[in-house]
Amino acid sequence: MKRSIVFLALAAVAAGAGCERKDLGRTGLVNVGKHTWAMIASGPSSVEGLGANSGFVVGTDGVLVVDARYTPVLARELLDKIRAVTNAPILWVVNTHYHQDHTWGNSVFKEQGAVIVAHAETRDAFLKYSPIYLDFYRERGAEAFALLKDVRFVAPDTLFSDGATFDLGGVSVELRHFGRGHTAGDAVVVVPKDRVAFTGGLLSNGYHPNLGDPGADFDNWLKTLDRLRGMSVRRFVPGQGLVCGRDAIDGLKRYIKAVRGIGADAIGKRFPLEEVVRTIQVPGTEGWLQPNILPFNVQAVYRHEIPRIVNPDFALDLPDEFLILDGGGNPKLGYIRWGSQSKEKGYLEIEAQWKLSANAELIVQDIAEAVARYEQQGRRLMTIERTRRFDLPGGPAVGAMGTWKSMDMRSDPGKGRWSWIMLLRGGKLYVVQCATDAAGDDAKEKRNVAELERIAETFRLQK
């Protein structure tokens, strides 16, 4: 058995033609080249592997598998398909990225003696997020978890950086990493002899893509799609959807640009995220599968674009678990809301608001009136228990704290504690609003408020 791998730097490639064969437009096992097969998922359900595609390349010395599928059951189905084509040993499995529908079948191929290969960022994210995702499915109930009860995490054990080449005997396979895109560690798997490329999550065809990964980079993703379009490749096996040509690349670029454009416009106009999620339409995506992902994609755009568009001139020392939930406006008038949810603490929220102000000083009555105006907006009933005037490193501030309760407990149940601070800095009025909901645990909510107040008091203008 021979295993040959060469690590290398990125290389430019020339343009090629689009798809030709009519029999490529189907699901199941599809022969996309003399040495290359794609396993195209039949649909987006959990039983079908969430729509994730996989495949394999066969040489005289052995087999390289591209993505191990969602469950051991699905991985064994892929193994059976391989064995129907060849008895050659399975030498390598490439994880194009860390998402569970592409990696949780790794154990099946590890048992066959395969080496699991991925970018270092993919290995790190696999180790970090896989247990979290499995807990999520476990909490969803027995039916959702039943498919995953045999999942055994097997992380990649061989890593590459910019690229790598594998010699399978008579056919070589090249890996390319073009930087962050769909995730931080995306790998493109190219079979030059067959002019085929497996793109992983960088490309989908007839499915809504997932824009929400923490490692995603929209700008570089678009650049990577341009690089894919320029490759000397005839057929692309996308992460989801049917084998395709360059039209799918163009469609995905339009999608990313459209969602970003809609989101950016809404942020600038201070439209609430929930309103955009409810009303967004992306032309040309009628009939695309997994439309339930679109609201999450809008949320992802908000998280990525809010800091750039509102361009706040201040900083808060926020823990890593606080994510951007909403925001809008511009440097003169705007807001950003961050939140965190955990079993240990419950829900914690910080919202910073700002506007130009000609006021020379603040009094406690100013924050009491701000709380009353907030309550009139109809979100929460606010009870003030205490007000204060105190000093922060940048100057004086006023504060208030108390309890809150949702105004519509049937459709939006929730109650807890809150604390606000208000301050004047550089010709602007800033209000930092903190709130927590720990499901009625008053002692926990008091601890949460104390933590949130410590964060709020780190407020400082940036030079």
Residue 273: its pLDDT value, please?
Answer: 92
Residue 401: its pLDDT value, please?
Answer: 97
Measure the CA–CA gap between 461 and 332, rounded to whole angstroms.
14
> Quick one: what percent of the chain has pLDDT higher than 70?
94
Residue 202: name the closest of 172, 173, 175 by CA. Answer: 175
Residue 6: its pLDDT value, please?
Answer: 43
Contact assessment for residue 347 and residue 437, using Cβ atoms and an 8 Å cutoff: yes
Residue 333: its pLDDT value, please?
Answer: 97
Residue 53: its pLDDT value, please?
Answer: 98
- pLDDT 10s digits, 277-292: 999 999 999 999 999 9
Domains and CATH numbers, the chain: 4-257 (3.60.15.10), 311-461 (3.40.1000.10)
Question: What's the Rg (C-alpha) of the chain?
Answer: 26
Residue 113: partners with Cβ closer than 8 Å, 6 or more residues away? 89, 90
Residue 412: its pLDDT value, please?
Answer: 66
